[in-house]
Structure 1
Amino acid sequence: MMKRSLAKTVKFMTQKFQAVDFPSYSQVASRSPGNARYLWFGKQVEAGTMQSGREVEVDWSKDEYCNHYMDDQPNMFKDFLEAGNNFSQRKKYILDRPKFVWYWSVHLAHNFLMGVDRLDQPLLEFLQANSEMFDNAFVVLMADHGFRMGTTEFYASEIGNLERHNPALMMSVPKKYRDNGILEVLTNNSQRLQTHYDLRATLLDIAKYQPSSQFTNTTLLKIPGEKGHSLLREQPLTPRNCETLPIIQDYCICKSKSIDMKHDTKLSKRLATALITYVHDRLEELNVTTQCHKYEFDKVTTFNIISLNGAKANYKIVVKTKQPAIFETLVTDNETGKLEFGVIERVDRYGMTTSCTKKTHYTPLCYCKE
């Protein structure tokens, strides 16, 4: 998406700053709040199952990150502040001091596939006008998650299905460090699967560890308490895939063999009906049932078996209801007959149809009655 919509910007960053694109960058949560917590705090807040079958447990419960102050928790902004950044004086005489700037454009491309196109020329001109400054900086151009507001037809396509969980990431290093080895390592790492955890480790590396070596140290670094590895350094030689990295299988962008099972209408309807029941149960747990329509099954639009291990089968299913809402999830049908559902994503353009739950417990699973 970034290469299409920000073509001029990408070309300029590549040619002027020798920026490196990361085509295999994976989100680790569905929505922005979850992905932000991984990047800023390095904490897992969403439980799930990896492709290897290993369970991913949360570091913070919802009660912890919603009802408790985070002031004393380690976070990226605090790390950079302690590294010497101070914005109390906005004069040019502080240009020789380290600075950390974060700009997050929320609405530009959130609801419209082509929305980010509007930024290409202004962003290009901004980078050109300040090219001397950016040539002396680490520059990261990224998204927290892929495009989530597309049509059913868009997600049915191979590229649409990939882009939903494949956010943009592009990074450049200061000109004075481009010949000391870290750019080469950064380029090599761009060809491997990476996550927000690895970008977080990179930012911590820049703030805390690399300055002592003048950004020349490319040896493997395991930062205590962190799940990722710096993109500026060698990473572990173990395979980087959805079986080894902390990526819940729902967000895995690695291609896997799957078999279309829509012809098995009996099985697909059983799982679809169970999914709708599960959604209703979740709405009841959140105490919003009276505000939401009760869903009725319409049809299964996608039904693939993605893995089979003995009597345990994993399926990807997309179900359309009559309201209409469209739900997608991974479901495990094990030998006991018990179904286990993964993260449930609502993939239709739900817009304001969920707004009635904001005062109680916001959830996109709801289709509001009013």
Structure 2
Amino acid sequence: MNKKEIRNRLHNQMKEGKHLIGVAAGSGLTGKYAQKGGADFLLALTSGRFRQMGVSSSAGYLPIANSNENVMNFAVKELLPLSNQIPVIFGLMANDPTIHLRNYISTIQKKGFSGINNFPTVGLIDGKFREALEEQHISYAKEVEAISIANSLGLFTVAFVFNKDQAIQMVKAGADVICVHFGFTKGGILGPKHVRSLQSAKTLALEIFEACEKINSNIIKMIYGGPVTKPADVQFMYNGTDIHGYIGGSVFERIPSEQMILQVTKSFKETDEVQYEQLSHFIMDGFTSKKDYIDFIKNYIRLHYADNISLNDLAEYLGLSRSYLSTLFKEEVGTSFRDYLIEYRINLAIDILKTKILPLTTVAEMVGYPDYAQFSKLFKKKLGMSPKEFAKRNKNTKT
């Protein structure tokens, strides 16, 4: 697929109100079923291949193998055969000193890849090591150059960015997708244990996208990694924003494989059919650690936001103390349970007010506030204006 075809396909989905999904696939198996699940494009990344070897994604930053050769070898054989269905994007190590950048990008194009992505990226490296790399001209600027070259050759480009300055550079270089990268994905056995909170990730993404839109209002805005590991997390990032989609790697292949293979193997070892069924449901529900209780709460809010939701009731249901659950939630999400629930509901109300013609009292009830006065107070605190004022500005709600 060429750049124009991909952009048209993605923008058409966005016009229909659908969010975009990119999957960083390390094998044909992942690519095949990601496509069946509705993925819009595949990223062929060296870290994806290492994940399939049972190694952390960070192995893509170690001198174990040549990154570009690694991607080329597996992606041509396993992912490109799927390219007649969805585009395959090549994860390019732009700072590879053994290649001529423009010539190599041309080779990528001739092999049948639809575009490139800047990975492995210097953006994930900091401190003294980053300084040492940049002294030798191994820099993020080279990645920007690669995106610019690919754009000039008519390739679709997905740019990982980590701050506003990088995002602005990538937009000016012609990137089709600006994807805010929050770091390696949390969770599972091989994932990092310390990442930023959901709230801080959302704040960062909105700051970066605001800067991008001043340059190109048609830029496709996506997010990747860090604390965003479950559908409820993605929904939290979408609520009250115009983020267009999510790209994931570990969440689609490493974490599910770790969980299912480990627990199912144990079940067969014990030949306990009942335990096997229980474990399967347990894993599918995401309960593999105490912190996964928080994911249950976020998902519960997503499904029952219109109901009366109490942290006391949830704590009792989960068999935990309220104080412990409250502390755990704030550590994991970066905000209190109460503030998270309020933001979720008010953001939903904003979306409803923008798209539907309904009385304000009805909107309040739809998002869980039968007391309109309470709803109005919370709405005004978040937006600095009442629901009625907001509705008048959007001119599509009965007041």
Give TM-score scaled by structure 1 length. 0.27
When normalised by structure 2's length, the TM-score is: 0.25
Higher relative contact order (CA 8 A, sep 6+): 1
Q: Which has the higher strand share?
A: 1
More helix by share: 2
